[in-house]
Amino acid sequence: MNAGTDSLNRRSWLHRKLFQEHLVDIKEKDFTAFIDFLPDLTVGRDIRNNKTTWLNTRGYQVGGTIGSQFYFYTSGFENQSVFPDYLNRYIDRNSSKNIYIVPGQSFDRSFGKPTRDWSYVTALLSYTPSKYLNIVLGQDKTFIGDGYRSVLLSDFASNYPFLKLNWTLGNVRYMVMWANMQDPLASQFSYVDANRRKWGVFHYLDWNVSNKVSLGFFDSVIWADKDDQGNKRGFDINYINPLIFLRPLEYNNGSGDNALIGFTGKYKFVDKATIYGQFALDEFEAKNFLSSTGSSRNKYAWQLGVRGADLFHVKNLNYLLEINNAKPYTYTETNAIINYAQNTEPLAHPFGANFREVVGTLNYAIGRFNFYGQAEFGHYGLDPAATDNFGKDIFKLYINPSKLLGNYTGQGLTTNLYYTEGRVSYMLNPKYN
């Protein structure tokens, strides 16, 4: 009888660990910790190219608390994958410089093999000294906005180290983040030097005006760790200033750093449905901004979308419809090292600039099953030749445009992108999510 009970208990323990609990879960008075093994296997089909795709991931996560003020978390993933052709073309776009980046992840180390191979790590240490302030030191990314995309700061590019301060006072939340990023495309100073680095400071103020309306104010400044002659600037102490809207400070420095300002808005117009938007202003010259001459100095982007839950009164059927637009040359600079990018990828929208996009998603959850559908249309203009600059490639300099006037969204080699995706997933263990 005992043997049967022990066998049942073992099965129950294994079932709980696989489907309900953390693999290791420690709970003491002033200390908690959890450890999990995170496997993932995804199989798909690239119908256009008659190709089976797959992703094999082995990962871990470790997290916990120390007392009531400290929280720590880290995760790591080892990955191998066969991607659809469009992703391979994206990863190989800088192959002439021997640079291969898996989107939003890290360097591909497959060295020409058909199976991609890369690792990915996240780490966070959080300290909350009071209910008004939270301090986070980490290697991760930050997303600002309410939509599928962001034209201000997205989670598309690879992780980067940062220090973030979050203040909460009543219905106002305020974030300031200092980050250190890299640009593998920038010319190195010597063969033994690592990738060139750059710094960024980001501010975001989110004000809940009422239960239905919220407004946000954003700014950022990017500057190079070293100039093109190798002179070290490092972290600029002037940008310790935690106040939002640093453009006057950037001008006072006489540095020519890359500044961006932006605004967000959100309105809950009916129960379980919200309209939202963003506006990013990269450069403002009144005579050009207010005119219709199509100046290359009109550098801005915007977003408008609607999202909601329980569509057609079906519980857990969520939807989103969104439009994104960026004028040519937005996010570019006079020096590519300080453009709005991290590790060869945009910090805002994946398309860079010179594009229009419409994207819609549907998501339905029942139990541990999740059904997801996405459709997207993108319209953008590529450069017909490497020497052209029609404003999509944010690593090209805006001081060398293909034309100063008469610019319009989608100029250059007009390209239309149609993308659809369907996905069915099952959550093995809610603790892993």
Residue ranges covered by each domain of the chain: 131-432
User: Quick one: which of 66, 59, 73 has its CA closest to 124?
Assistant: 73
Strand partners, 27: 32
Token pair listed for 284: 């403002």
Indicate the SS3 state at residue 255: coil
Structure-token pair, residue 311: 């569509």
Q: What is the arithmetic mean of pLDDT over 115-128?
A: 97
At 100, give phi and psi (nearest 5°): -130, 115
- Range 69-86 average pLDDT: 96
**CATH architecture assignment, domain 131-432:** Beta Barrel (2.40)
Query: Residue 102 — φ and ψ, nearest 5°?
Result: -70, 130
Inform me whether the pLDDT recorded for 339 exceeds 80: yes
Using an 8 Å Cβ cutoff, are 85 and 49 in contact?
Answer: yes
Please state the pTM of the whole predicted model: 0.92
Q: Residue 1's pLDDT is what?
A: 47
**CA gap 61, 41 in Å, rounded:** 17
**C-alpha radius of gyration, the chain, whole number:** 24
Write the pLDDT tens digit of every residue in 369-396: 999 999 999 999 999 999 999 999 999 9
> Looking at this protein, which amino acid is placed at residue 358?
V
Quick check: 254 pLDDT over 60?
no
pLDDT over 80 at 193, yes or no: no
Neighbours of 418 (CB within 10 A): 8
Q: What is the DSSP string of 126-168?
A: EEEEETTEEEEEEEE---BSSSSS-SSB-S-SPPEEEEEEEEE
Distance CA 318, CA 309 (A): 4
On the question of pLDDT at 238 being above 50, the answer is yes
Q: What are phi and psi of 269, to 5 degrees?
A: -85, -25
Confidence of residue 200 (pLDDT cuts 50, 70, 90): very high
Give Cβ neighbours of residue 56 (< 8 Å, ≥ 6 apart): 40, 41, 79, 80, 81
List the structure tokens of 79: 């990955």
How many angstroms separate the CA atoms of 184 and 78, rounded? Answer: 22
Q: What is the pLDDT of residue 249?
A: 56
Listed in sequence order, the residues at least 6 apart from 69 whose beta carbon sits closer than 8 Å to its beta carbon are 127, 128, 129
